[in-house]
Structure 1
Amino acid sequence: MLTGEVGTGKTTVCRCLLEQLSSNVRLAYILNPKLDAIELMATMCDELGIEYEPGEKSLKAFTDLLRDRLLENHEQGLNTVLMIDEAQNLSVEVMEQIRLLTNLETNERKLLQIILIGQPELQELLAKKELRQLAQRITARYHLKPLSLKETASYIEHRLRVAGIQRPLIKSSAIKQIYQSSGGVPRLINIITDRALLGAFVERRNTINDTVVKKAVNEVLGNYEEKKSSRAGNSRWWFAAASVVFVILLSYIVVKQALKPADFVEEKELSQNTESKTQSSSGVDTISEMRSPLVRATTNDEVAEQFWQEQSWDRTGFVSARNLFALWGVSYYPYQSGEPCDYALNYNLNCDSGRADWAYIKQLNRPVNLKFSTETSGHFWGTLKEIDGDYLVLQFADNEVRVLPRRLNPLWQGEYQLFWKAPDGFNEHAKKGDSGATVRWLTDAIYSIDQVDISPADYFSQKVEDWLILFQMENGLVSDGILGKHSVIMINNHVIANIPKLVNDLSVAQRGAQ
């Protein structure tokens, strides 16, 4: 059972849970709890895809259908979950029916897990004597409390940082006032702070002080003091002006976004492509096919701004981690799934990070997250997802761009992070004299690449070392005959077909940066 006051984040927690459910979960999610017992059972059947006779009114019939599906799911190793939001609106009759559902079980386990989410009145409801049996079956309870002053400050700072703000924007006294006015309720914190940001924009302030917050609180919560009519008029005018300016600003952003194409090419190439024409079969001149270019940028900051356009910049690397995981077919939720490298281990992926140049990145031939920076804009992350001829294809949040490597050189100082697959039993390195699963993987790879049969297959012999030294020399690695992670990555380029690569044609990837 999860409870909390209005606006404390119950629905947010619920959505977070829904986003992270594994594939072996079958969920019945009930949003409207104002149902009778029959309607509850019918809704559960609808959610779980259970067919029943139209107009069915028998609780026994619904219970039998539900029991059969739960047993079927159990046999297939599936977990069935019933989640009810706004559960404080459930009637005593329906609560009793929920209790009866908890009786559906095998000798080993319950067939149905139930999550109740509601306001504090849910606790009062379950305190009723007639519901004591259900209350005793609740194995975990949590009550979401409002944030403290310190938590409120951290929360606002986090929201601003995610939005791309790196400097102090709201004075501590103003944050204290936001906390006092909102009572620490996240929803009210969001609304008041949002209105304060709008007010500061209208008044052309670089920081938000107590005065701006007071106006925001008055507009949001209606805490108007007795004022003269002129001052009341001024307050209404302040909000009206803010609304008008906000609409104008929003229109400008929409138009600007619509006019911005999605790709980045050199001005010289743009001129050539725009002027070049071909003769179609019908004799009509047509413009040569080309990608729409971005407006030419002259400074590093302008380049960075055109990468991101109107999106929030990824300062932490979490958004880029989401994009990199997606290339591996893994769903990652920024700020929820934890540190990317720790999360990767759940999917048998390892992290590699360090510094390199374009030639070495091409040699590794893996999609990679790159850390960029400019003197004014600070640092940010982006995902290099493909090499298309001379161009790099990068993704910044939801925006994809194509750019020549030399245009990125002033922004990228060589820092990278990528994911890779390690062979079974691999622990940092393997060398001559070792044996085991990793060595067996290596000898299998040698046979796959060069059809060289090595025996015994699980012993790192002189013959294995000789082959590895030659492979390392050919691929620009330190030719020490020791199997390290970069040797594994490059061997995988030859032996694994279904891993994401920057270039699928190895001959192209091995040319290196020009």
Structure 2
Amino acid sequence: MYNDFFGFKKKPFTIAPDPRFLYMSERHRDALAHLLYGISSGGGFVMLTGEVGTGKTTVCRCLLEQLSSNVRLAYILNPKLDAIELMATMCDELGIEYEPGEKSLKAFTDLLRDRLLENHEQGLNTVLMIDEAQNLSVEVMEQIRLLTNLETNERKLLQIILIGQPELQELLAKKELRQLAQRITARYHLKPLSLKETASYIEHRLRVAGIQRPLIKSNAIKQIYQASGGVPRLINIITDRSLLGAFVERRNTINEAVVKKAVNEVLGKYEEKRQPRAGQSRWWFVAASVVFVILLSYIIIKQFLKPTDLSEKQQLVENSQSETLSSNKSNAASHSGTLLAGTMTNDEVATQFWQEQSWDRTGAVSARNLFALWGVNYYPYQSGEPCEYALNYNLNCDSGRADWAYIKQLNRPVNLKFSTETSGQFWGTLKEIDGEYLVLQFADNEVRVLPRRLNPLWQGEYQLFWKAPDGFSEHAKKGDSGATVRWLTDAIYSIDQVNISPADYFSQKVEDWLILFQMENGLVSDGILGKHSVIMINNHVVANIPKLINELSTSQRGAQ
């Protein structure tokens, strides 16, 4: 519709995988290199994961184009098969004939073994590639693993490539698939594009479509990046809708306003500002009057009540709560969401946390609960050490000592280490701060408690997960350059709309901004980007991370 208006030879932003528009970012090239290495390494499994729309299919197509002539490929696009159907599909892909209606796994296995041996003798490499592998059942996964037992003294006869969404990693974390997981020789998780890569991606597709002039303003590209999260498929959809919007408004360039409208339409964030209906303002006046009368009545009643009356009533409520909690100690299932009374001893509080459950002495169960808040399945005693396992999901560990104010500043769910003289040490997960109350998870039991009630049990030890920018090691400081600095300047623009150039150099202007940010957030104001600075910056620029307090308003930030 808009091709003639802008002068395109072809539509630049479709979601179809047109090879003419192929753009291989650095991370796509890394993913391709991992797959090629896996194929040439001589056996086992290779795994490529990535979120929906990050370009896994693009990498697969590039892989297929670069396969050497000595590779025989079985490519399975629909993995929702049982074991028999999987074996039959492999035979079909490799040109192996079998009896119609064959239902014997042994018969299929024998046919595949003979073909694999034949290919090996001819110097051919046989590869099985399965797309959308997160949809495979455990039973089919186990059958695939058994196929890798077909081997000679020197090498495996079958190479297997698994491609899927992050749920594939969770599937392979199951106990019954641990043998398969141990055979993965190369794995790569494809991340979304960075801001710089997003700009290059958009410019590349515009050039291929026949446009050489700057069509989309830099601030509009930043807005596309922020809305899409760097996911190529979303970039295409948002940019396509932006071009359509500019065409409708007869604009020759795309600015932030056009992109904002496109984002609202594509992602469903548009909320119509409704005008009050006729007579609605009169009803608001009536409602406000009723509220005023109720408040006035409350003030008058409170004024005439004796202080002793109030204190007696308050004491009755506290006694009633204490008795209720004491009477329910034996019923573990009834305590979800319990408010802990202030009359308990430290050991009674600890017992109330756990009830009849096994106490988490090592932190493994709390690690499972903390991973769950990040959308990751963790299996204690099967998945390895939590901090090492977290790296598979691009998470990092942070541990140390802090107080409640600093924990609130970090604004991440944390595992806390508690102890009493009688009960010993145990771990729990602080998952939310709800007003003045802390919401904690102890195995399967959730409790709500005031911070002061935990002070005798918690000595400040914590552990949390956080996301690091690309290229981040320990810190970044003035004079540095690279991907981490680009991430920081993008964040500066997102938070305060300050455009810094060059974007990948840690200049004096970047240091000045960071020092001010650190001062506002209770950090050491040294102008060095460390992990806690990253965590607190992410509070403002990353939406899809778990937080103790879901929203930090601008006014809150200024008050901190």
Output the TM-score relative to the length of structure 2: 0.46
Higher relative contact order (CA 8 A, sep 6+): 2
Output the TM-score relative to the length of structure 1: 0.50
